[in-house]
Copies of this chain bind each other. A is one copy, B any other.
Amino acid sequence: MSLEKIHQAIGADFEAHLEVIRQFIRTPSISADGTGIAETAEKVRGFIEEVGGKGEVVPTEGHPIVCGELMLGKPKTLLIYGMYDVMPVEGEEWMVPPFDAEIVDLPQFGRCLVNRGVHNTKGPLRAFFNTVAAIRQVDELPVNLKFLIEGEEEQSSRNLPAFVRSNKERLQGDAVFFPFFAMDNRGQPVVHLGAKGMIHLELECQGGEWGGPRTRGIHSSHGAWIASPPWKLVHALASLEDEDEAIAVEGFYDEVNEPTTEDEELLAKLATVFDETKILEESDAARFKFEGLHGEELLKKYMFSPVINIDGLVAGHIGEGVKTVIGHEATAKMDIRLVPKMTVEDTVRRVQDHLARHGFEDVQVRVRGGYRWARTSVHEPVVQALLETYHQHGYEAEIWPYIGGSAPFYLFHDELGMPIIPGGLGHGGNPHSPNEYAVVDGIELFEKSVATFLDKYASL
């Protein structure tokens, strides 16, 4: 494969590539409420056909999965995993409308595309197709491709496991690649070998036989003798964690493992280049929540600690002004991040047991989805190909044993026996936040790096 020619072609056509990306991300595809999901799935199927493959939109009980393949008789087959759904934007304040795909000059980064999903991850998904199209115009694709693009990643991939389990042959290949802008805000590529597991759950307290108003809010003067569902939820939540956010659920840390030898080696190396300031910038925070922890110890906390997070909290009157009312229901939307070797089932059971033991049997736990953690070894050829790609473009990657975030990567390891790695050059930021962005120059770099990666992987 003539990599240089392909890189030139990508550079020459990049403004056109950019327009295709902008057009794609302008269609919202909100995971939470389904807005634009069907239309976007159909577009993704079209992308597979456009590069010469066969695509299919497969319905599920939730949002459809887009599947496809481009089999060219090459020795190696790469399964491209991706997602076409995005987070909602309600309640957020954006500098430009969140689906106008405007190009904004951001002080730190220059020209940036600002749009929901441009970074996480419809931007890199479409850019990947741009690269494949560019390669096929100039040369032969060096590997076979299969595609698995889901529409429920932001809802803990609810219907993906069943699909993967019943389509093992169709999805089989040598490794899985997840197109992603992997450079941080200093322009440093970062490789995350593993991902935490995830449980989405809701805790809800409603008035009932135990007390409290059952079907409607009541005048808060009754608080002198009628129990309050919002208060009960607050106490139930508070019981889950100590005030320093250490989890107080009995047995919660029982299955939490120490880092492996490979982890320890990678952590030690990572600590030498780890930039705390960058993390604080990315998370818009003045300090970490642990006094006096730095370097390797701080990284260990981040990667090897389970977390219980409050995603949302709602009860009673949340509008303007005053309304003196005891709400009949109160809800906390939560996520739990799992580390090796926690399981979804045991963790949910422990939370339920804890609530019952502490007098909160009337607080309901609704599990909305979940999956466990996953880890790819640094020695896998697909990882080595990615590291060499970065090297060839002039970058030495930072290697993180785990990311704090979650992805359903266990499916590929456990069900298909395939390692998975997310990657690609380029930088984006503010996922799940207002003003999600991707650096325009970085997108071009991403497209070129994907070409390099496919070439490297084919030859390893």
Q: Which residues of A contact B (CB under 8 A)?
A: 31-33, 87-88, 90-92, 154-156, 196, 198, 200, 207-228, 230-231, 234-235, 237-238, 241, 243, 245, 279, 282-290, 298, 301-303, 305, 307-328, 330, 333, 335, 337, 359, 368-369, 403-406, 430-435
- A310's partner among B208, B216, B302, B316 (CB-CB below 8 A) is B316
Q: Which 3 A-B pairs have the closest CB atoms?
A: A32-B321, A238-B238, A221-B404
Q: Among the interface residues A279, A318, A321, A335, which one has the most CB atoms of the partner chain B within 10 A?
A: A321
Chain B contacts for A219, CB-based, 8 A: 283, 405, 431-433
Chain B contacts for A289, CB-based, 8 A: 211, 225-227
* B245 x A231 contact (CB < 8 A): yes
* B313 x A330 contact (CB < 8 A): yes
Known: A302-B225, A316-B310, A432-B219. A155 touches B321 (CB 8 A): yes
* A211 x B311 contact (CB < 8 A): no
* B155 x A368 contact (CB < 8 A): no
Chain B contacts for A154, CB-based, 8 A: 321-324
Chain B contacts for A314, CB-based, 8 A: 313-315, 318
* B245 x A227 contact (CB < 8 A): yes
* Distance to closest chain B CB from A111 (angstroms): 22
Known: A310-B234, A359-B243. A324 touches B335 (CB 8 A): yes
Chain B contacts for A88, CB-based, 8 A: 317, 319-321, 323
Chain B contacts for A327, CB-based, 8 A: 310, 312
Chain B contacts for A214, CB-based, 8 A: 284-286
* Distance to closest chain B CB from A392 (angstroms): 30
Across the two chains, which residue of chain B brings its CB closest to A195?
Answer: B221
* A288 x B91 contact (CB < 8 A): no
* B312 x A323 contact (CB < 8 A): yes
Chain B contacts for A238, CB-based, 8 A: 234-235, 237-238
Bound Cα distance A281, B339 (Å)? 48
Across the two chains, which residue of chain B brings its CB closest to A308?
Answer: B223
Besides A31-B322, A225-B404, 18 new A-B residue pairs in contact (Cβ under 8 A), listed by A number: A32-B319, A32-B323, A156-B322, A200-B322, A209-B286, A211-B288, A217-B432, A220-B309, A221-B405, A237-B238, A310-B326, A310-B327, A311-B316, A311-B325, A312-B323, A313-B316, A314-B318, A322-B368
Across the two chains, which residue of chain B brings its CB closest to A314?
Answer: B318
* B234 x A286 contact (CB < 8 A): no
* A317 x B301 contact (CB < 8 A): no
Across the two chains, which residue of chain B brings its CB closest to A202?
Answer: B322
Bound Cα distance A369, B423 (Å)? 55
* B218 x A283 contact (CB < 8 A): yes
* Distance to closest chain B CB from A122 (angstroms): 17
* B285 x A226 contact (CB < 8 A): yes
Bound Cα distance A345, B322 (Å)? 20
- A311's partner among B298, B323, B433 (CB-CB below 8 A) is B323
Bound Cα distance A33, B218 (Å)? 21
* A284 x B231 contact (CB < 8 A): no
* A286 x B324 contact (CB < 8 A): no
Across the two chains, which residue of chain B brings its CB closest to A237?
Answer: B234
* A215 x B320 contact (CB < 8 A): no
* B406 x A227 contact (CB < 8 A): no
Across the two chains, which residue of chain B brings its CB closest to A317?
Answer: B312
Bound Cα distance A403, B214 (Å)? 22
- A283's partner among B226, B312, B337, B403 (CB-CB below 8 A) is B226
Known: A88-B319, A238-B235, A310-B230. A225 touches B279 (CB 8 A): yes
* Distance to closest chain B CB from A149 (angstroms): 19
Chain B contacts for A218, CB-based, 8 A: 282-285, 432-433
Chain B contacts for A200, CB-based, 8 A: 322, 324
Chain B contacts for A326, CB-based, 8 A: 309-311
* B319 x A225 contact (CB < 8 A): no
Bound Cα distance A214, B282 (Å)? 11
* Distance to closest chain B CB from A347 (angstroms): 15
Chain B contacts for A234, CB-based, 8 A: 234, 237-238, 310, 313
Chain B contacts for A224, CB-based, 8 A: 301-303, 305, 307, 337, 404
* A284 x B324 contact (CB < 8 A): no
Q: Among the interface residues A208, A214, A323, A406, which one has the most CB atoms of the partner chain B within 10 A?
A: A323
